[in-house]
Amino acid sequence: MNDKPSRSTWRKLAAFAWCAVVTVWLPAPAWGHGPLHERIAALTAEVATRPDDAGLRYQLAEICYQHGDWDTALKHLVRVDELAPGQFPTDLLRGRAALSAGKTDDAKAALDRFITAHPGNAQALYLRARAFERLGKNDECLNDYRAALAADKRPEPDVFQEVAVALAFRGHEEEALRVLDAGMAKLGVIPTLGLKAMEMEVSLKRYDAALLRLDAMQKAAPRPEPWMAKRAALLEQAGRIDESRAAWKSLVTHLSALPETERRSHAMSKLAEQSKLALEKLPKPTITSPSSR
């Protein structure tokens, strides 16, 4: 029997990570803070009066990108390069906009140029890793992810998760777990990273390791109750039914001992209901009769 997680499992994890990752690193223009469409209108009017102002046009390209108007952003970047070649990081924004627009080859070409001129730029390496991923170039994708994470001075939790999921999807589960552990060593016990590591351990059927990770997260958590529920559910998933039953009962006892205001809160009421339903669904314990001993 093959206990290795399927590619579809890692695809789901990858999709989750992609949704979680904040992909906009470029700073917003400092000149205004209104709704994007209003800022675009104002900048467009300024550009109309000063069409050869490359700085204004670059700001407009940034805002158009943030607004999701990627093709317009790309058109403005062409003009920026004509007006002021080499004065703005147009290939970085071009790579981001082209990737968002589904123009993967164009994005990779722009990012290749930018990385050649700015080797070790973490933002560009993350973006090119995603381009390689779409192009099915797995080795190049992972190499860029590794280089980006090594170069990133202040990686966010979602970045560690994205890199780990990319590694796990391509069969590097142990390295993926090391990335998540490195993230927590650097940033502290981050629940999203801890949960992802626990999910990977479970996918590998390493339930004891998953439970150890869960225990560490529970100790660092402000409230133990959600983690007590996760532990009980994980024990059931591991086939340790008696332990799961005991864990759910322990949670019920814990909840019933809380002060009334806490016990009646929405979160605690939901956990109490979850515990009740879980206990009802668990197989009944086998009672051995004296004659069968």
Tens-place pLDDT, residues 240-254? 999 999 999 999 999
Whole-number pLDDT of residue 285: 79
- Cβ neighbours of residue 146 closer than 8 Å, sequence gap 6 or more: 163
Residue 6: helix, strand or coil by DSSP? coil
* Residue 20, pLDDT above cutoff 50: no
Q: What is the mean pLDDT of the segment spanning 159-173?
A: 96
Whole-number pLDDT of residue 291: 57
CA distance linking residue 56 with residue 46, whole number of Å? 8
Whole-number pLDDT of residue 107: 98
Lowest mean pLDDT among 53-57, 144-148, 229-233, 288-292: 288-292
Q: What is the mean pLDDT of the segment spanning 254-273?
A: 96
CA distance readout (Å), 125 to 110, 149, 200, 228: 12, 9, 25, 40
Helix axes 70-83, 54-66, angle to 10 degrees: 160
* Residue 19, pLDDT above cutoff 70: no
Largest CA-CA distance found in the chain, in angstroms, rounded = 98
pLDDT band at 288 (very low <50, low <70, confident <90, very high): low
Percent of the chain with pLDDT over 90: 79
Residue 151: name the closest of 177, 170, 127 by CA: 127
Whole-number pLDDT of residue 87: 95
CA distance linking residue 225 with residue 273, whole number of Å? 13
Q: What is the mean pLDDT of the segment spanning 253-279?
A: 96
What backbone phi and psi angles, to 5 degrees, belong to 290? -55, -35
CA distance linking residue 122 with residue 115, whole number of Å? 9
Q: What is the mean pLDDT of the segment spanning 187-205?
A: 94
Whole-number pLDDT of residue 189: 87
Whether the CB-CB separation of 40 and 63 falls below 8 Å is answered with: yes
Structure-block tokens of residue 241: 């039914």
Residue 286 is classified by DSSP as P
CA distance linking residue 276 with residue 281, whole number of Å? 9
Whole-number pLDDT of residue 34: 54
Buried b (16+ CB within 10 A) or exposed e, 266-292: eebeebbebbeebeeeeeeeeeeeeee
CA distance linking residue 203 with residue 234, whole number of Å? 12
Whether the CB-CB separation of 60 and 76 falls below 8 Å is answered with: yes
CA distance linking residue 92 with residue 99, whole number of Å? 11
Return the number of other C-beta atoms located less than 10 Å from residue 2's C-beta.
5
Whole-number pLDDT of residue 264: 94
pLDDT band at 25 (very low <50, low <70, confident <90, very high): very low
CA distance linking residue 67 with residue 48, whole number of Å? 20
Buried b (16+ CB within 10 A) or exposed e, 30-67: eeeeeeeeebbeebeebbeeeeebbebbbbbbbbbbbe
The per-residue pLDDT for range 30-66, each reduced to its tens digit, is 334 458 888 888 888 888 899 999 999 999 999 999 9
CA distance linking residue 215 with residue 235, whole number of Å? 12
Whole-number pLDDT of residue 15: 43
Whole-number pLDDT of residue 271: 97
More confident residue, 219 or 21: 219
Tell me the domains of the chain and their CATH numbers: 23-155 (1.25.40.10)
